[in-house]
Every structure is written in structure tokens, then in C-alpha cells.
Structure 1
Amino acid sequence: MEENSYPQKLLAETLGTAVLVFIGVGSVPAAAIIGGDAPFTMAQLGMISLAFATAVIAMVYAIGHVSGCHINPAITLALAATRNMPWRDVPGYIAAQVVGAVLGSLAIVGVLGHKAVDVGLGIAAYGGGVGAGQAFFAEAVGTFILALVVFGAVDRRAAGGFAGLAIGLGVFAIIIPVAPATGASINPARTLGPMITGELFGGTVDWAQLPVYLVAEVVGAVAVGVVYTALKARPVAAATPAAAPVVSEGVPS
């Protein structure tokens, strides 16, 4: 099958990231608007997690065959660091993902109006009482698990046809324990896009938290690249001793 062109791959990454942010991040202000002043519940967190999961599953099957459906700069960097994609393609992929995240965030405002900005626009931020160190650890662990699922699911030895489902369910599971600490961004583009859009529309954005998110997410994903490369390495077979010559016991001629 002929490979798609680089511009086609970048367009796919832009669209895929935009859909991920619109559906996944957009579910956060949607839940807040519908819930009003009622306390945030585990049920709402579950629906937000499901929104992210279904968006990921849909995009893997929609654009995975075009661009690989990274839709996450941390995954792109991890793949490049493990020589699974050329470094020359990385800047374009990351730029496309960030542009897509901004477009997805703008779409949230377009659909839900300024109310979405008023309730936070789904911008990732530390939870109450969470410091930079705890936030870094939470994002690094969450991104590590996500990248581990991605590397394992797309391995040629894995069961075929289930990568999208595995990755989507992985996202669902990760968000449940990580979201109370950091909002469970686990994606630099998802972190940055809503921040940029929130700033444009006068929302509250804590830019000082951005470096913690970005560094933790990249560290978590690249660490998996190293670990999974070690898991895939085949042990060197021990040298087989030379077989002893067979001595015939027949009558000498």
C-alpha cells in the first residue's frame, strides 16, 4: 500500500488532535455547565473519561492508517527517540498537533459559547493542595502508562485490530486517578491548546504550571521508549558447543 504524503500526515494529525480536544476537553466545561453549582462527582469524571476514550478510539481508526494517529507530541518524541520515526518529521507533527489543539479549543467556545471559558474551558491545572512536585509525578506516571499502552498495542506482535480500543481504554483508566491531581492532561498539545484559547478569550490561565506539564509528559513518554526497547530486545543465544565427531565402530577396512 502506498504511503501517504507528509502534508497528508500533518493534516491528519491536525484534525485528529482537534477532534480529541473538542470532544475530550470539551466534555469538561459541558459537565460543569450542565451540573451548575452542584458538586463535581465521580459520575461526571467517568463521563469525561469516556469522552476522551471514545475520541481516541475513533481517531485511531479514522486516521491511524494515514499518520499513525499520534495526536500527542510526547508520543511523537518517544517514537522518534526510539527510531520508530525520523526526527525530520517531528517538528511538523508537533506543530500540527498544537494547531489542532487550538482549533479544537476554539470549536468548544464556538459550540458552548463564553460559558465554556467562564467555567475553565477544561484547562489543565493543579488540583487543590497539589504542588509542582506532585503534579510532575502525576503527569509523568499518567503519560508513562499511556505510552506503554501505545507501544505495546502497535507492536507488530500484538493482536491485530485492537490498538484503538486498547489505547482508548488506557486513556479512560488513566484519567480516573490522575485527574484529581492535574486534570490528567498527559498530552502537551492538549495542555497548550486550551491555555492559548483561554488566554485569547480572557480566561484564567496559570502559565507558571505549563513547564511542569510539558516536561513531565515528555519524560514519561520517552522513558517508555527506553523501557519498551529493552523489553523487545532479544537475548543473544548462547553459543552451541560443537558436536563431538561420531566414531564408527565398524570393522576397519
Structure 2
Amino acid sequence: MSRSGSPAAPSGADPVRVRVPVQTVPAGSGYPLYEFALTAALMFAVVTIIRWVLDPASPLVLENLRLALLAVGALTGALVFGLLRSPWGRCSGAHMNPAVTLALWRLRAFPGRGVTAYVIAQLCGSVAGTVLARLVWGPAVARVGYGMAAAAPSWNGWTVFAAEGGCLVVVTLMIGFFLAHPSRGRWFPAALGLLVCVIIAVLGPLSGGAANPARQFGPALMSGATAGLWIYLAAPVLGAVLGAGAHHRLLRAR
């Protein structure tokens, strides 16, 4: 994003063909390091928020789960907005989500040669942020499962898969909308932050509302609860691919 809020392409990208609300990245740049740091910051903050509002021993605990997840969603959405608008976020695009990186590639707004570096940086950042939260807050983080998203007992694996994948279909279609309307790019950080808040508040008590492989990766590894991790890794990726396909189909239909 440029300072005026309009989409901007970094050096090495075609400024005519690439006009996106989330910036592209030329191969060989140091931007994956920014993605690592931004994802680590996101995960540290998310685990911290969950530690304070869901830990029974916390003085700020919210007994009502839906109210607690609404608070988590609102704070996380505000954080996503802030990271997108931060200097590092403006450099790397602040994807902080492997499925978003894949979606941008499938939307032809991100170079394929940068996908692997970004995904590795985001997953490593997830682990780093979760570990840092454990070091700062101690055993309280373990009591809340290291902030890992958890599905309701009444939801089976395939229902969770459908919900988590559907989230990324919606996210990808929203990104596609801003790609098709670059003059409205200044609204993208706020729109994404609001959508993140809604996903967590609505789906948090049901599927877990992760909608981000990196969001679940670090907490699952740290807690050792990796049995259902594949759902939270694969579903958003599939949703990103389906959402990008739907976006291209809508453009052709027009």
C-alpha cells in the first residue's frame, strides 16, 4: 500500500499489471523475514489474548465462551489491521497466512517463486510467537492449550474441514474484489480485520475459527495435540484454491 492508501507494487514487479491491496514480493528479497516477524507478533498477541480471557486463573477471564471469543476476535481483527498498516506490513504485504499467500498466487497477484519462502517464514513465525508467549506468560499458556483453536465436540472432522475451508473461500473472494477494484484498496486492511473478527466470533465456538494454517501450527506443535492438525492445514489451502477459481469464473462471467 502506498502512503495515500492506494495499491502499490514494490520494485521488481510490473506496476501496470500488478495493482493489489496486498503487495507482491520479488524473488530474493528479504520480505520473508518480515513475514516471519509479523506472524510471530500475531501469534504472540493471539496466545496472550487467549491466556488472559480464557484462563480460569486470570483476573480478566470471561466465563461466557461466546463473549470471550468475541473479545478475541475484536482484538485480533484490530491487530491484523495494525500489522497490515505497519511499515513491515507495507513491505511484505503482511499475509501472515499460508492460505492467503497461496490465494494471491492463484489470483495472479503474487509470484509463484515467492510462495515457498513465505509459507516457511509464516509457519516458523507461528512457532516462534507461541514459544515466546510461553516464555513470557509461563504455565498459564499451557492451561489454555497454547491458544490452539478447538472445535465443538458436536462437530466432526469433515464439518470442521468444510467450515475452515469455506472461510478461505470468502477471504479469497474478498481479496479478489479489491484486486478488481484497486481504487478501493485503502479499505482492505479494515475489511480484512473486520472479517477476521467475524470468523473468530461466529466460528470460534464451532470449528475453532482458525482459518489460517499458521494460526494453528505453532500451538498444535507446542501442545502436542496434532491429531486434527491436518484439517486446519489442508482446509484453508483448499478454500484458497476454490476461492481463486470462483473469482476467475466470476470475472469471465462478467
TM-score, normalised with respect to structure 2:
0.82
Describe the shift of the 1:19–1:151 C-alpha distance in structure 2 as closer, same or farther (beyond 3 A): farther
Of the candidates 50, 57, 66, which is equivalent to residue 42 of structure 1?
Answer: 66
Aligned counterpart, 1:177? 202
Aligned counterpart, 1:16? 38
Considering only aligned residues, what root-mean-square deviation do their CA atoms show, in Å?
2.2
Q: Is the 8 A contact 2:38 2:89 kept in 1?
A: no
1:100 positional shift: 0.8
Describe the shift of the 1:185–1:38 C-alpha distance in structure 2 as closer, same or farther (beyond 3 A): closer
> Is 1:30 equivalent to 2:52 in the alignment?
yes
Q: Is the 8 A contact 2:164 2:232 kept in 1?
A: yes
* Runs of 4+ off more than 4 Å: 35-38
Amino acid at match of 2:235: A
Which whole-Å CA distance do the structure 2 matches of 1:55 and 1:14 have between them?
16
Which whole-Å CA distance do the structure 2 matches of 1:53 and 1:132 have between them?
26
Q: Is the 8 A contact 2:53 2:62 kept in 1?
A: no
Unaligned runs of 5+ in 2: 1-9, 13-24
Which whole-Å CA distance do the structure 2 matches of 1:123 and 1:185 have between them?
9
Q: Is the 8 A contact 2:164 2:207 kept in 1?
A: yes
Which whole-Å CA distance do the structure 2 matches of 1:21 and 1:188 have between them?
12
Describe the shift of the 1:155–1:18 C-alpha distance in structure 2 as closer, same or farther (beyond 3 A): farther
Amino acid at match of 1:138: A
Aligned counterpart, 1:78? 103
1:158 positional shift: 4.4
What are the equivalent positions in structure 2 for 1:92-171 lying under 5 Å apart? 92-171=117-196
Describe the shift of the 1:221–1:43 C-alpha distance in structure 2 as closer, same or farther (beyond 3 A): same
- The number of aligned residues is 229
Deviations 1:97-151 (A, max 9, x none): 0011111111211221111112211112221221111111111122222222233
Q: Is the 8 A contact 2:155 2:206 kept in 1?
A: yes
SS at match of 1:126: coil
1:178 positional shift: 1.0
Which deviates the most, 96-105 or 16-25? 16-25
Aligned counterpart, 1:210? 229
Which whole-Å CA distance do the structure 2 matches of 1:66 and 1:119 have between them?
33
Which whole-Å CA distance do the structure 2 matches of 1:114 and 1:154 have between them?
44
> Is 1:219 equivalent to 2:238 in the alignment?
yes
Amino acid at match of 1:18: A
TM-score, normalised with respect to structure 1:
0.82
Describe the shift of the 1:119–1:234 C-alpha distance in structure 2 as closer, same or farther (beyond 3 A): closer
Aligned counterpart, 1:57? 81
Aligned counterpart, 1:245? none
1:225 positional shift: 0.8
The structure number with the bigger radius of gyration is: 1
Aligned counterpart, 1:189? 214
Unaligned runs of 5+ in 1: 200-204, 236-253
SS at match of 1:141: helix
Q: Is the 8 A contact 1:49 1:176 kept in 2?
A: yes
Aligned counterpart, 1:250? none
1:183 positional shift: 1.5
1:154 positional shift: 4.6
Describe the shift of the 1:41–1:149 C-alpha distance in structure 2 as closer, same or farther (beyond 3 A): same
What is the percentage of aligned positions where both structures have the same residue? 29
1:17 positional shift: 0.8
